[in-house]
């Protein structure tokens, strides 16, 4: 038995060794994988799809890089852009650096001020303010995807034969820069980077084109690009029907101070040019990368949660201003406890969002209208109630008066003639009957001649014959 037991133990040990090795192998491979591949954060949720980005950026993708950078920055301030469009319409003959200096005191972001140098650009952006806001929201939420979309569209225009160097612009093709796209579905890296520069650095020509033509066959028919035709007089010639058209060049020196950083997904700032044109808003030399300024947003809401948390919650210096505004953490905690106490007692908590506040306001307005409609009915009911209350004492007094009249009438009237009225007092009944008989007998006797009895003296019998005269 001992031998059999020993053989059984050895056999079990031999069977356990391979199983143990198989169990350990994945663990070792997993550890090696963790060591080889560093942990990466989950990709951010895309606000716009690739087709949507191509659709909204198609009217802008063929702008020179420096002008495109100014447009992307300015589009994050849609309210300022609308004001700049109105100003440009009111000053149609002003452009270039001179126009930018004229709006230096306007409360707009410097990127928006720079666009007044190009009336044709503002005329295009003024045709669809909602499109401008979408472009700005896309650039804030997905800057790398916006850059990739522009490069993708430029390649399409180049393949279609509508993007090349000429007297107005210079097209440069460089090896592709590494891209860090934030979309959920990763796109293939562009094989090259296409840069568009003015042929003359001090003269910028704004192109105008029909996106449905210049890019060739559009790959996403469900998301066709919008076309914003230029106002009359901005562009001349027949080139617009076939490809790009260029109007009069705009002479500039310092108005364009931004440039696209295709590899970094942001905007580089030429600090010297910026300070030359923005003498009242100078920046330091280390501020050479554009940062969105939420103060110039003018209350326009952000589209995605990440942008709202980054720009919409707290502005620079807000924490330092809490003390000046009388905000105390202890008082905040007390208010929170009081709010919870009210909630427990059945009071409704404050609205947590603008949507909830609007719904509550609509409900309150509806209740107010219903109350106003029911108020006349309630007033009519109150009037009827008051009339009823006023009529009730009158009815009571009338009833009492009738009862008193009945009692008084009953007291003045004798007993009613009734066949059984004398049964309780027979003697009285007999006396009344006897009195009746007596009256009847008296009435039956013949009556004497009525009238006054006249008594005359009787005459003595006459003696003799004739009476003496």
Structure confidence by residue, pLDDT tens digits, 62-114: 999 999 999 999 999 999 999 999 999 999 899 999 999 999 999 999 999 99
What are the residue ranges of helices labelled H in 37-102?
50-57, 65-75, 78-90, 96-102
Q: How many domains does the chain fold into?
A: 1
9 CA to centre of own chain: 76
pLDDT at 262: 93
Residues with Cβ < 8 Å from 61, sequence gap 6 or more? 68, 149, 150, 153, 154, 157
In a domain, 117, yes or no: yes
Say if pTM beats, i.e. exceeds, 0.75.
Answer: no
d(CA 382, CA 437): 71
Q: Are 112 and 277 in contact (CB under 8 A)?
A: no
Tell me if 380 is assigned to some domain. no
Residue 429 falls within a domain, yes or no?
no
241 in a domain, yes or no? Answer: yes
Q: What is the pLDDT of residue 249?
A: 87
Predicted confidence at residue 257, as pLDDT, reads: 95
Residue 248 lies in a domain: yes
- Beta-carbon contacts of 366 under 8 Å, excluding residues fewer than 6 positions away, are none
Q: In angstroms, rounded to a whole number, what is the distance separating the alpha carbons of residues 171 and 61?
A: 13
Q: Which residues of the chain have pLDDT under 70?
A: 1-45, 176-190, 233-242, 313-328, 352-353, 391-396, 410-424, 436, 439, 445-469
Closest by CA position to 108, among listed 69, 67, 74: 74
pLDDT at position 352 is 66
Strands 192-198 and 203-204: unpaired
Residue range(s) defining the domain that contains residue 148: 50-312
Residue 104 maps to a domain? yes
Please list the alpha-helical segments (H only) found in 208-259.
Answer: 211-214, 239-242
Does the CA dihedral 230-231-235-239 come out positive or negative? positive
pLDDT at residue 13 in the model:
45
Q: Is residue 229 part of a domain?
A: yes
**Torsion, CA 278, CA 282, CA 286, CA 291, rounded to 10:** -60
Tell me, what's the pLDDT at 62?
A: 96
Per-residue pLDDT at 16:
42
Asked, for residue 323, whether it belongs to a domain, the answer is: no
């Amino acid at each position: 038995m001992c031998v059999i037991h020993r053989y059984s133990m050895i056999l079990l040990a031999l069977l356990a060794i391979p199983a143990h090795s198989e169990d350990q192998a994945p663990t070792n491979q997993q550890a090696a994988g963790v060591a080889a591949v560093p942990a990466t954060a989950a990709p951010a949720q895309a606000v716009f799809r690739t087709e949507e980005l191509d659709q909204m950026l198609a009217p802008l993708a063929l702008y020179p890089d420096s002008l495109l950078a100014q447009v992307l920055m300015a589009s994050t301030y849609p309210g300022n852009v609308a004001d700049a469009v109105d100003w440009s319409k009111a000053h149609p003959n002003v452009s270039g650096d001179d126009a930018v200096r004229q709006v230096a005191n306007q409360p707009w972001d410097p990127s928006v001020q720079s666009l007044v140098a190009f009336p044709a650009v503002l005329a295009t952006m003024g045709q669809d303010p909602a499109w401008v806001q979408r472009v700005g929201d896309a650039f804030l939420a997905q800057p790398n995807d916006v850059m990739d979309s522009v490069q993708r569209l430029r390649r399409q225009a180049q393949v279609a034969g509508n993007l090349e160097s000429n007297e107005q612009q210079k097209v440069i093709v460089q090896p592709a820069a590494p891209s860090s796209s934030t979309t959920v579905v990763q796109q293939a890296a562009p094989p090259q980077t296409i840069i568009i520069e003015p042929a003359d650095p001090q003269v910028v020509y704004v192109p105008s084109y029909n996106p449905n033509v210049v890019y060739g066959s559009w790959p996403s028919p469900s998301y066709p690009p919008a076309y914003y035709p230029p106002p009359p007089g901005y562009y001349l010639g027949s080139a617009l029907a076939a490809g790009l058209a260029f109007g009069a060049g705009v002479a500039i020196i310092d108005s364009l101070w931004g440039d696209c950083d295709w590899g970094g997904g942001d905007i580089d700032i030429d600090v010297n040019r910026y300070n030359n044109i923005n003498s009242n808003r100078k920046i330091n030399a280390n501020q050479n990368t554009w940062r969105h300024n939420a103060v110039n947003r003018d209350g326009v809401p952000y589209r995605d949660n990440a942008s709202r948390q980054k720009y919409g919650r707290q502005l620079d210096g807000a924490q330092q201003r809490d003390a000046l505004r009388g905000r105390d953490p202890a008082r905040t905690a007390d208010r929170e406890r009081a709010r919870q106490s009210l909630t427990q007692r059945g009071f409704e908590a404050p609205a947590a969002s603008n949507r909830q506040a609007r719904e509550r306001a609509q409900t309150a307005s509806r209740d107010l209208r219903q109350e106003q409609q029911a108020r006349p009915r309630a007033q009519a009911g109150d009037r009827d109630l008051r009339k009823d209350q006023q009529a009730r004492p009158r009815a009571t007094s009338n009833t009492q008066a009738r009862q008193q009249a009945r009692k008084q009438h009953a007291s003045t009237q004798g007993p009613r003639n009734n066949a059984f009225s004398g049964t309780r007092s027979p003697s009285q009944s007999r006396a009344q009957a006897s009195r009746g008989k007596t009256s009847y007998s008296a009435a039956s006797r013949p009556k004497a001649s009525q009238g006054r009895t006249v008594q005359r003296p009787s005459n003595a019998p006459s003696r003799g014959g004739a009476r003496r005269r």
